[in-house]
Every structure is written in structure tokens, then in C-alpha cells.
């Protein structure tokens, strides 16, 4: 079994705005392109042009019709690793391959230590682990550690590829462990929520739920969003629990 750090200096993560995500898949393809050539490369594709196309994708966007979301609309729901504070995907790992960094809270896999047992995949309730059958090891979102600390990139590009690619600005990156950071302020202003908080994983990533049509004035307070939030998140919980 693998231990978690007692504390982390930062907790980097994403804030995803379900109100402005239009489901264009730009983040999905940017993630795939960057990571296929980067730290976790290569990411396989299975039957890419055939029926049942699949493969390793660290970020997937699902689309659903939901009656409680903003008065009835399609909700586009991006799903990737949430870099949880209490991730059982790490603690179940028998080899120490899965680990959480004390410096920035990012959850990673050391491929050299991974034996492909897939226990971490069973332990993740969010479906965020990706087993690469071509090499027999687990892979996952790294929050683009090879971008965010990359001194060769312009400062503005030192964000995860999904964040850089999003045309609507629906994805925000920063330190959610710092209450004064822009992402933490955004979560407070918009009443950002955890996915399945009852499980105790304490995901770093937060979701901003779709606003109802009447809530689209500049300032939206959390109580006004509560019926939409609770209905939508109950539905997301059911969807992820399948």
C-alpha cells in the first residue's frame, strides 16, 4: 500500500465551468495531442476509424440532456482526474507506483513501478484512470507537469493543454489550496462544488454548475444556484456510479 503526504505545499487543480463548456472537444484533442508526445506518451488508439473506437484519453467530455440544468438544456461534462486530497487510487497501490506529490498535490503514476494490477482503477470512483493495454501500465492526467513547469514555454502557455485550448474559457487552472488564488475566488463566487463529496476523496478539481437562465446576471450567489446544483450533481453521481 502507498502512503499519502501528510500535507501538500500547493493543491493544483482545475475549475470547470459547466455553464460555458460547449462540448467542442478541443480540450480532449489538445490533451491527447500533448500527452501522446509528452510525459505519458504514447497514448494508444484502438480501432480509431472503426466501430467501438477507444483508447487512452485522459480527458473525456460527455454530453447529456438534463431537465434541471439551466431550465433544461444539454450539459457538457468534462471528466478527468480530480487530483483528490484523499485518493484511494494511491493508497491501494501495492508498489508505490501511484503517488501524490507533496509539492503541488498532483497525483501521478511512475510507470517503472506499475505492475498493471489496475487496483487504482477500481479505487477511483470518477473513472479517471486509463489502463494502457499496449504497455500494461496505468496512465492518467498529469495536469501537464511537462507544460506547467516548462521554462521553455512562454509564461502564458504554462497551463495544462486542455486549459490553453478551451475556446470559451470554461477551464481554469491554479492553486486550489490557496484561498486567495483566482481559482479559489472563482469557486467561492460561483458556489463551485465537489463531485461525490460523500465519498471523502476531497477532489481538488471543482465544477461550476450551469446557471438557470434567470441567474445569468453578473453576480450569482450560491443559494440561488442550489436547486440546479443539487439536481445536476445527483444526476452526475448516478451517471458515474453506473
Binding-site member from 12, 14, 89, 161 for ligand SF4 (CB under 6 A): 89
C-alpha span between 203 and 106 (Å, rounded)? 11
State the minimum distance, in angstroms, from the CB of residue 186 to ligand SF4. 20
Binding-site member from 12, 93, 176, 228 for ligand SF4 (CB under 6 A): 93
The reply to whether 118 sits near ligand SF4 by the rule CB under 6 A is yes
Burial code (b: 16+ CB inside 10 Å, e: under 16) for 197-221 equals eeeebebbbbbbbbbbeebeeeebe
The reply to whether 129 sits near ligand SF4 by the rule CB under 6 A is yes
The reply to whether 12 sits near ligand SF4 by the rule CB under 6 A is no
The reply to whether 106 sits near ligand SF4 by the rule CB under 6 A is no
**113 or 158: CB nearest ligand SF4:** 113
Q: Would you give the binding string for ligand SF4 spanning residues 200-229, x where CB under 6 A is met?
A: -x-x--------------------------
C-alpha span between 116 and 130 (Å, rounded)? 11
The reply to whether 30 sits near ligand SF4 by the rule CB under 6 A is no
C-alpha span between 48 and 54 (Å, rounded)? 7
Strands, E assignment, the chain: 12-17, 45-46, 54-55, 60-66, 73-79, 98-100, 107-109, 130-132, 137-139, 171-175, 206-208
The reply to whether 119 sits near ligand SF4 by the rule CB under 6 A is yes
Dihedral over Cα of 218, 221, 222, 228: its sign: negative
The reply to whether 162 sits near ligand SF4 by the rule CB under 6 A is no
- Which residues contact ligand SF4 by CB under 6 A? 81-84, 87, 89, 92-93, 95, 97-98, 107, 109, 114-120, 124, 126, 128-129, 138, 140, 201, 203
Amino acid at each position: 500500500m502507498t502512503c499519502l503526504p501528510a500535507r501538500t505545499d500547493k493543491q493544483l487543480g482545475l475549475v470547470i465551468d459547466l455553464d460555458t463548456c460547449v462540448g467542442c472537444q478541443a480540450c480532449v484533442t489538445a490533451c491527447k495531442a500533448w500527452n501522446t508526445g509528452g510525459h505519458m506518451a504514447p497514448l494508444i488508439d484502438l480501432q480509431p476509424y472503426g466501430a467501438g473506437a477507444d483508447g487512452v484519453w485522459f480527458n473525456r467530455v460527455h454530453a447529456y440532456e438534463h431537465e434541471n440544468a439551466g431550465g433544461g438544456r444539454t450539459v457538457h461534462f468534462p471528466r478527468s482526474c480530480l487530483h483528490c486530497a484523499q485518493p484511494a487510487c494511491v493508497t491501494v497501490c501495492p508498489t508505490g507506483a501511484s503517488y501524490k506529490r507533496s509539492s503541488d498535490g498532483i497525483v501521478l503514476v511512475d510507470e517503472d513501478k506499475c505492475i498493471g494490477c489496475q487496483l487504482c482503477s477500481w479505487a477511483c470512483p470518477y473513472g479517471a484512470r486509463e489502463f494502457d493495454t499496449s504497455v500494461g501500465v496505468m496512465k492518467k492526467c498529469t495536469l501537464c507537469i511537462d507544460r506547467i513547469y516548462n521554462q521553455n514555454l512562454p509564461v502564458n502557455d504554462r497551463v495544462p493543454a486542455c486549459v490553453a485550448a478551451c475556446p470559451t474559457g470554461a477551464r481554469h487552472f491554479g492553486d486550489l489550496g490557496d484561498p486567495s488564488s483566482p481559482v479559489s475566488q472563482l469557486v467561492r463566487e460561483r458556489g463551485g462544488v465537489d463531485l461525490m463529496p460523500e465519498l471523502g476523496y476531497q477532489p481538488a478539481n471543482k465544477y461550476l454548475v450551469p446557471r438557470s437562465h434567470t441567474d445569468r446576471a453578473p453576480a450569482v450567489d450560491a443559494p440561488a444556484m442550489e436547486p440546479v446544483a443539487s439536481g445536476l450533481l445527483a444526476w452526475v453521481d448516478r451517471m458515474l456510479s453506473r
